[in-house]
Structure 1
Amino acid sequence: MTITTLLVANRGEIACRVMRTAKALGLKTVAVHSAIDANARHVREADLAVNLGGAKPAESYLLVDKLIEAARASGAQAIHPGYGFLSENAGFARAIEDAGLIFLGPPASAIDAMGSKSAAKALMEEAGVPLVPGYHGEAQDIETFRAAAKRIGYPVLLKAAAGGGGKGMKVVERESELAEALASAQREAQAAFGDSRMLVEKYVLKPRHVEIQVFADRHGNCLYLFERDCSIQRRHQKVVEEAPAPGLTPELRRAMGEAAVKAAQAIGYVGAGTVEFLLDERGDFFFMEMNTRLQVEHPVTEAITGLDLVAWQIRVARGEPLPITQEQVPLNGHAIEVRLYAEDPDNDFLPATGTLALYREAAAGAGRRSDSGVAEGDVVSPFYDPMLGKLIAWGESREEARLRLLAMLDDTLVGGVKTNLAFLRRVLAHPAFAAAELDTGFIPRHQDVLLPLPGELPDAFWQAAADAFIQSEAEQRRSDDPHSPWSARSGWRAGVAAETELHLVCNGVGRKVRPGGNAQLQGETLTCGSQLAGDALIASKLAPTTAVQRRLHAIRRGDTLYLEWNGELHAITRFDPIAEVEASHSHHGGLTAPMNGSIVRVLVEAGQRVEAGTALVVLEAMKMEHSIRAPQAGTVKALYCVEGELVSEGTALVELESES
């Protein structure tokens, strides 16, 4: 089959990744985009671009007819679905085939068999693969799920039958929570995958999430490319992945790999796929699901095998056989990947939106790789998944890969949008992670260390911020007019001592600071006048016999200074005392939107009395639902939103009058 032009029916880092590989193979690339993605990075990197219109996925990336039309209009012979959106949609695969185009994925029949979690579990049960106890039937009413959950025993896990990536997934601890959780999960699944069907299964305690990468061609060949451990998750979505999985014996690795190949062959699979298992402490494994697509975490498999899985997808789509046999699959070293998200770990990992005022990736090099779909100046919208990119490190040993990835995280700078960057550093630096003590409960078990309560910034931070701020302002003025006396930063005043005083604000806290003072940096005294050199603030330490200098990232973007402190990047701006006083008079009792999004449910009425914890409004952002709940018992005094309305972060939604 001839492929000269490839359309990528996706966005973000996967679209960029696929297009780079396609170009390396001599193919032209076509990007599709929504109206608000017109200047996105994947569009800028493509040879051609087609505007699908709309903003939400249902108005753009999920429209099969528009995608087929875009392929025809651009002259593309093949379509790569990426992951998410329509990547596991059998109807999309059939539509591509019916249009005479090539789908870079498995046959529609294989997606039908494995794309539905319920159908996949039934198939595996018939094949004798061990399953987690659960209900995978067609009936979708609440009474069926209530009876199934009672039979299985709480806690249970609700999962979208047609999805993945944590969308439409809820843990239910008790029967009283089931109805609300089921309704919310069904809405999430419908919004993300166009299919609200659910299944329920026993929530296994302390499992590891281990998955097998399989690959099959059109000639009956199928092999496994070893395994990945994806146990560290938040909101049932992977955050850290590594290959190979620590602690697996060669016998267990072979058993899981052969089971995965058997599953793929049973449905006539073609292309890249992943068979996912739960692995318990005894070494028993249970089939979870099969993802009939390329996974987000495929780079760690590429790192330990030296193979390009996207190139393999293109070659298999052309009809070529797999280039190696199972015995020839390399296994070299260890690789770890982290997902960089626009989200707020301090606020239950809620997605974050805004403009990337600062975005600097770690430099590429030996054993270092960054896959991203954004660049500085891009806008992170509320309509799509909040992942900005992935950082991948390889080493001859797991510890070498871990340390290399920590260094990459130190070199990665993001400002303007909240991210999980500091959280990722804490995960990789944690002794339990270093010791490979992994399971899906890792984050909640170590929550006190991984998610510490925000503390007060010390005097040394404010002193360093003042030095960097005043010097960066002077540098800006000097670059505009190097000979102007106003470029000097001496603080000269007629008749009195020279003095400069700054009103600064960071994380909502204001401080009045004089540059050039002494302060303590982690127990060490800084000299006055720390020097800004490029993007680094050089702070000197006084010691009895010697002086030591420390370099802190300090980068100015417009009116904001981004200063590194204890591994985190803080945004500092000038402080306006008058504006702060006005803000302090904000309406008492108002509940606001924690992020940009759309209102999908309004659950209360004005005048209604509610208890603490009652869900008042449901907000959808980045394909996930978030309930705004009453912080205390009270009466709903006013509603400021309606269902279907788009709201910005900080918008007042509900006014609640406390009983106290």
Structure 2
Amino acid sequence: MITSLLVANRGEIACRVFRTCRTSAIRTVAVHSDADEKALHTRTADMSVRLPGTAPADTYLRGDLIVKAALTAGADAVHPGYGFLSENADFARAVLGAGLTWIGPPPEAIEAMASKTRAKDLMAAAGVPLLAPLDPDTVTESDLPVLVKAAAGGGGRGMRVVRRLDALKEELRAASTEAESAFGDGTVFVEPYVEDGRHVEVQVLADTHGTVWTLGTRDCSLQRRHQKVVEEAPAPGLSADVEQRLRSAASTAARTIGYVGAGTVEFLVSGDRVHFLEMNTRLQVEHPVTEAVFGLDLVALQLDIADGGTLDGNPPQPSGHAVEVRLYAEDPAHDWAPQTGTLHRLAVPEGVRLDTGFTDGDEIGVHYDPMLAKLIAHAPTRAAAIRRLADALERSTVHGPTTNRDLLLNSLRHDEFTSARMDTGFYDRHLPDLTQPAADPLAPLAAALSDAHGRSRFGGWRNVPSQPQVKRYVMADEEIEARYRHTRRGLETDGARVVHADARLVVLDMDGLQRRFEIARYDDDLLYVDNTTLRALPRFPDPTAHLAPGSLVAPMPGTVLRVAEGLSAGSAVEANQPLLWLEAMKMEHKITAPATGTLTALNVSPGQQVTVGSLLAVVQAP
């Protein structure tokens, strides 16, 4: 019987597993890197073990240290979570070899699906329909577009869509580098890319006694960089025939490899065509939507199966619809650049599920995936679940680094999504419209009135008419002025009557319509009006604070991976030519020339650490 469990992971999934352990009276053990010493998963476990002597980005890939930590802490079982070593057969063997219970499938089953190319061979032999891999050396123009994929791991790492034959070699190299960093295995392969495909998956659950459950379908078509952003269960709009073929193929896949535990079989669906993509031999990030629809705790079932338990009879009947969104610290409008800094406040209204690995005041660092939280809504119908989740997102408080909250909200309310006509190209088509600034135009005025409330009632008053007081803010990358006056009657502004103004609340009346604005401040110049971020500008800006035209600054903190071959100060460059590559949060980010011209400065070299705003290079246009 499992009495103490170590989670070989971090963040949200570690906290999620610990939550089930608490209700099951199982003691919990966390492992952590130096960067995660004060992380939420470390603080909430019954005990924690530091993983010594490794770089933060690689700590959770050290299986030997994790097994040693489990033995040191007296744990009798290990749950791998997702990502890192969760689909590493050698790690599973090491756990079992140490006399510990492995919360996952047999190492042989992991190994069978660990290489996506080998998995496709096995599934083809079992009669599961699939897209056959292509030989990178024989790809022709007629094969384009193609998709480069990492043979090990997932989560969008090591994936590239290639639309030009002359770009294939570079994308293969970049994907391999990214996969090596994320999974310790740089093997990649190529397969056809289906433009209008939907990403549909089937949750499977199998015990050691031969029972295999298929727990409905999930649609995960809304993706950025091939990583899922919005997921739902059941997948909408599938015919009964397609759904039956998906479930049958998933069951065949699980039985073919002798699967045990929770896993997911992923498919590409185009019309009535079904193609096997891969099997994730672990719990999925999006498992909460299946839990909501089927009324199950998949982590509790994983633990029970690992303890020898059985799946009795048929699975429960599904009920209603569930939708999940992933809240990321990233800027979708600027190439999805990951963001760092202090998460000052994260709060969601009642009625939705929040899974997170952060709490107020935590730091979002550079070493790991930038997902802050998952929000999940369940309702009797799809339309009701979407409305509930969109409303919760709109009412949530997210103060800290730039996030994709507005993108998620706009996605949920987009006609293509609400009518279930989405596919994996959704963001390729709609990203510019979905990332239009949603900042409240009245936010700067509310901020200025809040700033002014502490002054004497007559502190700004003059007995002759004068110019109004002016406060300047940066909002959504734009500089905006807010104007108000101190009068005998109090604070006044053009177009709105000030009903109330203090440090935390401003109420304005505009032609009989009252609006409330909640104000939060976290330092001298950073403040939030509801969820609109404002940066107060000084009254007298520094006249020397500027960059030369054509300056390229680091959009995020990270490490310079490499500089384009032969590039140096004085080189002629073309617009959009790749100049250098940064790695942040195990993703590779390309920095390109803003215009055709001459590279007049190159300030970085491979291996160099940079911070946000660091000057990388300067391109001077002719």
TM range (shorter): over 0.9
Q: Which residue of 2 aligns with 1:362?
A: 348
Q: How many corresponding residue pairs?
A: 612
The answer on 1:624 being equivalent to 2:615 is: no
- The alignment's TM-score, normalised by the length of structure 1, stands at 0.89
The Cα offsets for residues 490-548 of structure 1, whole Å up to 9 and x where unpaired, read as 435687779972433223544443334445xxxxx532x24247855432221xxxx23
Instruction: Give the aligned residue type for 1:191.
Output: S
Conserved? CA contact 2:353–2:375, under 8 Å? yes
The answer on 1:570 being equivalent to 2:532 is: yes
Q: CA 1:493/1:55 → structure 2, altered by over 3 Å: closer, same or farther? A: farther
Q: Which residue of 2 aligns with 1:106?
A: 105
2:508 to 520, 530, 539: 539
Conserved? CA contact 1:504–1:572, under 8 Å? no
Following superposition of structure 1 onto structure 2, how do residues 124-143 of structure 1 map, counting pairs within 5 Å? Answer: 124-135=123-134
1:513 to 476, 482, 487: 482
Instruction: Give the aligned residue type for 2:448.
Output: A
The Cα offsets for residues 239-273 of structure 1, whole Å up to 9 and x where unpaired, read as 10000011123343222112101110111111110
Q: Which residue of 2 aligns with 1:263?
A: 253
Conserved? CA contact 2:346–2:399, under 8 Å? no
Conserved? CA contact 1:216–1:270, under 8 Å? yes
* Aligned counterparts of 2:384 and 2:32: Cα–Cα separation in 1: 39
* Aligned counterparts of 2:231 and 2:30: Cα–Cα separation in 1: 28
2:424 to 426, 436, 440: 440
Conserved? CA contact 1:562–1:570, under 8 Å? yes
Q: Which residue of 2 aligns with 1:341?
A: 328
Q: Which residue of 1 aligns with 2:96?
A: 97
Q: Larger deviation: 504-513 or 181-190?
A: 504-513
Instruction: Give the aligned residue type for 2:49.
Output: V
1:556 to 512, 521, 528: 521
* Aligned counterparts of 1:244 and 1:434: Cα–Cα separation in 2: 14
The answer on 1:209 being equivalent to 2:188 is: no
* Aligned counterparts of 1:627 and 1:610: Cα–Cα separation in 2: 15
Q: CA 1:195/1:631 → structure 2, altered by over 3 Å: closer, same or farther? A: same
How far residue 329 of structure 1 moved from its aligned partner, in angstroms, is 2.1
- The alignment's TM-score, normalised by the length of structure 2, stands at 0.94
Instruction: Give the aligned residue type for 2:545.
Output: A
Conserved? CA contact 1:146–1:175, under 8 Å? no
How far residue 76 of structure 1 moved from its aligned partner, in angstroms, is 0.7
Following superposition of structure 1 onto structure 2, how do residues 445-524 of structure 1 map, counting pairs within 5 Å? Answer: 445-452=429-436, 454=437, 458=441, 460-471=442-453, 474=454, 488=456, 490-492=458-460, 501-507=469-475, 508-515=477-484, 516-519=491-494
Q: CA 1:457/1:307 → structure 2, altered by over 3 Å: closer, same or farther? A: closer
Q: Which residue of 1 aligns with 2:543?
A: 581
The answer on 1:315 being equivalent to 2:304 is: yes
Q: Which residue of 2 aligns with 1:484?
A: none
* Aligned counterparts of 1:254 and 1:640: Cα–Cα separation in 2: 58
Q: Which residue of 1 aligns with 2:79?
A: 80
Q: CA 1:503/1:510 → structure 2, altered by over 3 Å: closer, same or farther? A: farther
The answer on 1:592 being equivalent to 2:561 is: no
* Aligned counterparts of 1:369 and 1:457: Cα–Cα separation in 2: 27
Conserved? CA contact 2:57–2:367, under 8 Å? no
How far residue 463 of structure 1 moved from its aligned partner, in angstroms, is 2.1
How far residue 640 of structure 1 moved from its aligned partner, in angstroms, is 1.5
Conserved? CA contact 1:278–1:288, under 8 Å? yes
The Cα offsets for residues 580-613 of structure 1, whole Å up to 9 and x where unpaired, read as 42223x2343211110111111222233222222
The answer on 1:218 being equivalent to 2:208 is: yes
The answer on 1:17 being equivalent to 2:5 is: no
Q: Which residue of 2 aligns with 1:481?
A: none
Please list every run of 5 or more consecutive structure 2 residues that lacks an aligned counterpart in the other structure: 485-490
How far residue 101 of structure 1 moved from its aligned partner, in angstroms, is 1.0
Q: Which residue of 1 aligns with 2:488?
A: none
Q: Which residue of 1 aligns with 2:117?
A: 118
Q: CA 1:561/1:530 → structure 2, altered by over 3 Å: closer, same or farther? A: farther
Q: Larger deviation: 611-620 or 489-498?
A: 489-498
Instruction: Give the aligned residue type for 1:557.
Output: Y
The answer on 1:384 being equivalent to 2:368 is: yes
Instruction: Give the aligned residue type for 2:140.
Output: K
The answer on 1:284 being equivalent to 2:273 is: yes
Q: CA 1:306/1:457 → structure 2, altered by over 3 Å: closer, same or farther? A: closer
* Aligned counterparts of 1:68 and 1:159: Cα–Cα separation in 2: 30
RMSD, matched Cα? 2.1
Q: Which residue of 2 aligns with 1:401?
A: 385
Conserved? CA contact 1:609–1:635, under 8 Å? yes
Conserved? CA contact 2:450–2:502, under 8 Å? no
Instruction: Give the aligned residue type for 2:409.
Output: R
Instruction: Give the aligned residue type for 1:620.
Output: E
* Aligned counterparts of 2:29 and 2:94: Cα–Cα separation in 1: 18
* Aligned counterparts of 2:396 and 2:439: Cα–Cα separation in 1: 24
How far residue 561 of structure 1 moved from its aligned partner, in angstroms, is 1.8
Conserved? CA contact 1:30–1:47, under 8 Å? yes
1:146 to 137, 143, 153: 137
- SS of structure 2 residue aligned to 1:61: helix
Conserved? CA contact 1:214–1:274, under 8 Å? yes
How far residue 489 of structure 1 moved from its aligned partner, in angstroms, is 5.0
* Aligned counterparts of 1:532 and 1:76: Cα–Cα separation in 2: 55
Instruction: Give the aligned residue type for 2:507.
Output: I
Conserved? CA contact 1:590–1:654, under 8 Å? yes
* Aligned counterparts of 1:636 and 1:273: Cα–Cα separation in 2: 50
Q: Which residue of 1 aligns with 2:496?
A: 526
- SS of structure 2 residue aligned to 1:600: strand
Q: CA 1:509/1:441 → structure 2, altered by over 3 Å: closer, same or farther? A: closer
Q: CA 1:494/1:538 → structure 2, altered by over 3 Å: closer, same or farther? A: closer
Instruction: Give the aligned residue type for 1:467.
Output: L
Instruction: Give the aligned residue type for 2:496.
Output: L
- SS of structure 1 residue aligned to 2:61: coil
Q: Which residue of 2 aligns with 1:479?
A: none
Q: CA 1:8/1:535 → structure 2, altered by over 3 Å: closer, same or farther? A: farther
Conserved? CA contact 1:30–1:74, under 8 Å? yes
The Cα offsets for residues 286-332 of structure 1, whole Å up to 9 and x where unpaired, read as 1000000100000000000000001111111111112x433x42210
Q: CA 1:99/1:180 → structure 2, altered by over 3 Å: closer, same or farther? A: same
* Aligned counterparts of 1:122 and 1:278: Cα–Cα separation in 2: 17
Instruction: Give the aligned residue type for 2:282.
Output: R
